[in-house]
Amino acid sequence: MPLMTKHKLCKEIGTVYPVQMAASSKHVHGSNEKRSLEIRLRKIIGQLQSVEHMVRDDRDCVDVLNQIVSARKALKSFAEVVIHQHAHECIAGASDPKEGQKKLRELLTVLERYVE
């Protein structure tokens, strides 16, 4: 794939959602929690790098697709862990009910995009 500008890439792949982060919405993960997330991400990155190598090496399409399925499942599992942590730590553990409601609305907005 040739190098594309951001504008052309958006036309090629469709809708791109901007990442919205409020300055006050920082979540600090505990060291064990962070380590577990990082390990999961490294595995996903490894799976995607494997897909890249398989394409480069002209591997069979079914093999490539199987690796993509594995990476998708791993990414879905990672997202489920993050959703669970957010629901329990950020929403349920919010400092006040209004903050909890705000965080719940934010999560629901993201989940609407997640299930598209």
DSSP state of 29: P
**What pLDDT digit, counting tens, does each position of 82-92 carry?**
999 888 888 88
State which residues of the chain have pLDDT below 70.
1-27
Residue type, 111: L
Domain ranges of the chain: 36-114
CATH topology of domain 36-114: Methane Monooxygenase Hydroxylase; Chain G, domain 1 (1.20.58)
Is the Cβ–Cβ distance between 26 and 67 less than 8 Å?
no
Provide the whole-model pTM: 0.69
